[in-house]
Structure 1
C-alpha cells in the first residue's frame, strides 16, 4: 500500500514538473546541429534584458518556449543568456511562431513563420541591407581617400554619404507609412529614424492605425515625438 502511494506521489510530481504553463505566444522549432546547451527566450524590460523562458537541450535540437505577450515586441533567442555570443532577434506576437535555424549560422538567416510583424521586418531588412553595404563601401572609399590625401575625393565621399543617408531616411519613412497597420512601423521609426528630422517621425506617427498607436511601440513613438517637440519649443 505504501509503495502504491509513493508511486502515485512520484508520478504526480513528474507530471507537475514536466508540464509547463504555456503563454499566449508559443515559440517552437529546431536548431540543427545543437547537441547540448540552454536556449533562452528573452526580451527588453526597461533597459535590461530579461529571461521569460528557457529550455535545456540535451541531444535534442527541437524546442518549445512561451510567454504571455500583451503587445507585439522584439524577442531574443540566446544561448546561456548571452547576446554577445550568438543571438536570434525576432518579432514576437500572440499565436504560434516557428523558428528553424542552424547552430553554425545561428541568427543570420533563420526561417521564421507565424509572425506577421516579422514578415514586415524581413521585407524592410532586404532593402536596409543594401544601404548598410553602401555605407561600408563609402567608409572604405573615405579611408582610401584620406590615405591618398585626396581632398577632392574626400569631399565627394562626404556628399555621397549624405545623399545615401537621405535616401535611407526617405525609404524608411515611406516603408513605415505603407505598413502603418503593423507594430513593426513604430519600431522601425524608433530604431532607424531616432536622429532623423522630426517631420519624418511625426509623419509616421500620424499615419499609424489606432490599433498600432495603442501598442507598446506606438506609445513609445508618440512619447519620443512629444519629447522632441518639447525640446524644440
Structure 2
C-alpha cells in the first residue's frame, strides 16, 4: 500500500493539471495557439464592424510563443488575428478564421504566419477551407486567361478568351450558390454569399434570394444571415423602384 501511495498521488496531480480552465463568466469563446519562432511582439484579435477593424483583444508575446484569449461571441463570425512584429515589418501579418462558441486552436509560424496556419475547433472554419480549396481552381484558371489575353493581340483569340472568362465567372458563382445552399445550416453559407456574390450582376439577386430561403432559422438569425437578408431586401426594393420608373 505504501508503494502505491506515491503513484496514486502522481496520478491525482496529472489529472488536476489536465483539467481545462474554467472560462471567465460571460465568455463563450476560447482562442488559444502558438506562433512558432515568435519571441517578441503583439497579437491582436479583430473583427470588422461597419467596414472598420475593431480590436477585441491584444496579447503581448515576450519569450513564450503561446497565446490565449477568452471572448464572448453572439453568433459565428469571421475574426482576424493580426501580428505586430515590433521592430520588423512584414506583409504577412494577418490571418482570418471563422470564430464560433467553443475552443478554437491556431498553430502557425513566424515565417509563414498566414500560409502555415492550422486552425481547428470550428466547424464553419473547416467548411470555409473546403470552399477556398475549390475556389482556388477558378482563381488559377482566371489568372491563366488573363496571362493569355496579355500575350495576344488577335481579336478572335481575345474574344474567345473573354467568353471563357465570362463562363468561368458564372461557374464560380454557381459553385458558391451550391456551396451556400448545401451548408444552409452553417453560418459560412450566408458569409460566402455576402462576400462573393454582390458583383454577380442581375443574377446575383436570384442567387442570394435562393440562399436566403434555404437558411435554417438559426442561421437566418445570425449576423451574416441577417446581413444577407437585409442586402436581398435592399436589392428587391431597388429593382421595384426601377420597374416603377420604366
TM-score relative to the length of structure 2: 0.82
Q: Is the 8 A contact 2:29 2:72 kept in 1?
A: yes
Q: What are the within-5 Å matches in structure 2 for residues 36-51 of structure 1?
A: 36-51=40-55
Q: For structure 1, which segment, 180-189 or 102-111, has the greater mean C-alpha deviation from structure 2 after superposition?
A: 102-111
Q: Residue 180 of structure 1: which of 173, 181, 184 is its match?
A: 184
The offset of 1:106, in angstroms, is: 0.7
SS at match of 1:175: helix
1:192 pairs with one of 189, 196, 211: 196
**Distance in 2 between the 1:191 and 1:61 partners?**
32
Q: Matched residues in 2 for 1:41 and 1:217: separation?
A: 19
Which whole-Å CA distance do the structure 2 matches of 1:195 and 1:226 have between them?
Answer: 16
| SS of 1:182 mapped into structure 2 | coil
Give the corresponding residue for 2:165: 161
1:91 to 88, 98, 104: 98
Give distance in 2, aligned partners of 1:229 and 1:84.
40
Which residue of structure 1 aligns with residue 234 of structure 2? 227
Distance 1:199 1:117 in 2: 24
1:21-67 per-residue CA deviation (whole Å, 9 max, x = no partner) reads 57211110111111110011111122210111111111111100222
Q: What corresponds to 2:139 in structure 1?
A: 132
Unaligned residue ranges in structure 1 (runs of 5+): 1-19
Cα contact 2:92–2:114 (8 A) shared by 1:
no
In 2, Cα distance between the equivalents of 1:124 and 1:189? 12
C-alpha distance in 2 between matches for 1:108 and 1:206: 35
Query: What SS does structure 2 have at the residue aligned with 1:107?
Result: coil
Q: Distance in 1 between matches of 2:215 and 2:73?
A: 21
CA distance in 2, matches of 1:48, 1:164: 32
SS state at 2:57 partner? strand
CA distance in structure 2 between the aligned counterparts of 1:217 and 1:158, rounded to whole angstroms? 33
In 2, the alpha carbon distance for the partners of 1:50 and 1:218 equals 21
Q: Provide the C-alpha distance between the structure 1 equivalents of 2:213 and 2:173, rounded to a whole number of angstroms.
A: 17
Over 4 Å off, 4+ runs: 81-85
Aligned residues: 211
CA contact (8 A) 2:46 2:55 kept: yes
Rounded Cα–Cα distance in structure 2 between residues aligned with 1:75 and 1:171:
24
**Cα offset, 1:195, TM superposition:** 1.7
- Unpaired runs of 5+ in structure 2? 1-22, 241-246
- The CA deviation at 1:186 is 0.2
SS of the aligned residue for 1:153 comes to helix
Select the residue among 95, 102, 108 that pairs with 2:109. Answer: 102
CA distance in 2, matches of 1:180, 1:84: 34
